[in-house]
Chains A and B, each alone.
Chain A
Amino acid sequence: MSISKEEIGSSSRHISYSDNDYSAMTERYKLTISDLFAWFGMKQALKNINLNIRSHIVTAIIGPSGCGKTTLIRCINRMHEMTPNAKAKGSVILDGLDIYDKAVDPVTIKRRIGMVFQKPNPFPTMSIYENVAAGLKLNGIRDKKLIDEVVRESLEGAALWEEVKSELTKPGIGLSGGQQQRLCIARALAMQPEILLMDEPTSALDPIASSKIEELVHTLKKDLTIITVTHNMQQAARVSDYTAFMYLGELVEYGPTKQIFENPQNEMTERYISGKFG
């Protein structure tokens, strides 16, 4: 996996790299999570999470309901703290930057770490074009030609352009469920994120639409690092390169997907993925 220097040096990234840093980049982790705890009021949701996410791969997070999967990814892009009485403690390092540092603007983090949710949520009053362009406009970009170019590239990246190119002015909510989800992915891609978080992205979709999203994930990982939460273990086995199993707020096991599904080291992992509990 290699990253070109141009891709690293775009305007949305405020860290500059020397030639030595660049060549070492691909060998480092994209995201390093250390001693992460999270609470909703008094209820502890995450307990001492330590996890290193490799660059340009798909990492799946699996586990029974309530184990902390969604809380974990919401901590990664600083959405967790937006919930009243929610707090997090620990370190999340994105390319050498501690995202919880007081000097870091959470909005910047959300720009670098995009998110797609379980239920497709295109902005209901906006057209397909406006949905994708929304983020750009909110960030002060007014150049129409640039916006048109980014919208097209984003819709192409989300494998939706050919289906909607003649209907860009139509409402986003007029699309099918699967198309709406790809529109949401395009909206996230428009901000050129480095990481894409996906919270059960296909659980509301039919099998064909789900299959298209899975194929899209496989394509996107060439350019992005993807972390996906899923209840569907077969999907985790299909799409991911690495898998993390969580239970009751703790990270139980993390490793290459092949190893997790063929020869898990932890008995609880074996029991969960074999369907013996959960």
Chain B
Amino acid sequence: MTRLLDLGIEHIQNIVMDMAKLSERSVFASIESYEKGTSLIKKQIFDWSENLRLMQDEVSDLSMELIARYQPVATDLRFIRSCMEIAYDFSRFGRYSYDIADVLETMGSIPDCDKSYVLKMSNTVREMINLSINALQSRDRNAAQKLYEMDDTVDALYRRYVNEIINPQENQNKKEFLDKTLRCYISALLILRYLERISDHACYIGDSVYYVVTGNSNPRR
């Protein structure tokens, strides 16, 4: 028997999965544009970010309607609540992607910069995005644990980079440091910050999945 509520839940689920694909594409495109040193894709990423924001509003509106009309309970209610939170997380992916693309435009050409930190962190973040989306599709309550472990790696990398900036090597010429590497450090630092926030939101998605399945908040959180 298909309940009227099921039709609405299916609709929300479809929008959220569309958001998942779009936000993933957005993040990967922004990282790729940093890697290749091009900012031409900024307009596209902006459009995706705007779409994600509109889709988030659509999820919120639909959720409120389902709650008002059908008074969902138990798993249905937890799922609807979680979809509103997850939609926000995906919209933030889009926003941070745009912010990354904006850094490239602001900083200009940075072909000589050391991109290793960003690329290393972006690999982990890509894995986390995939893991969070798969957890959502398969309702894997154990994904949250793995996501937080990966988030610890991301946080450690970020702190290491900050430390490297504020404590430059002793034999490094300070003027040379400021002239040649300031642009590299600022762009990398900003992008690392955005990637670190994407990582946090991927963890929040894992928390939401845990909550839908178990009805409890993730203990780690």
Contacts and interface: CB of A to CB of B under 8 A. Distances in A.
Interface of A: 233-234, 237, 261-264, 270, 273-276
A263 B3 CA distance: 20
- Give the 5 A-B CB pairs with smallest separation, nearest first: A263-B215, A261-B73, A270-B74, A273-B73, A234-B71
Interface of B: 1, 3, 5, 71-78, 215-216
B77 A262 contact: yes
Tell me whether chain A's interface is mostly helix, strand or loop, or mixed: helix
7 contacts: A237-B71, A263-B74, A273-B73, A273-B74, A274-B73, A274-B76, A275-B5
A263 B74 CA distance: 5
Contacts of A234: 71
Contact of B78 (A237, A263, A275): A263
Contacts of B77: 261-262
A62 to B, nearest CB: 11
Q: Among A237, A261, A275, A276, find the residue whose CB has the most chain B CB atoms closer than 10 A.
A: A275
B188 to A, nearest CB: 44
Contacts of A275: 3, 5
A273 B215 CA distance: 15
Nearest to B71: A234
A135 B78 CA distance: 48
Of B5, B73, B215, the most chain A CB neighbours within 10 A belong to B73
A264 B214 CA distance: 10
A232 to B, nearest CB: 11
Nearest to B4: A275
Contact of A262 (B3, B5, B71, B78): B78
Nearest to B3: A275
A23 B203 CA distance: 48
A274 B74 contact: yes
A276 B73 CA distance: 12
A237 B73 contact: yes
Given A261-B73, A274-B76, 13 more contacts: A234-B71, A262-B73, A262-B77, A262-B78, A262-B215, A263-B78, A263-B216, A264-B74, A270-B74, A270-B75, A274-B3, A274-B75, A275-B3
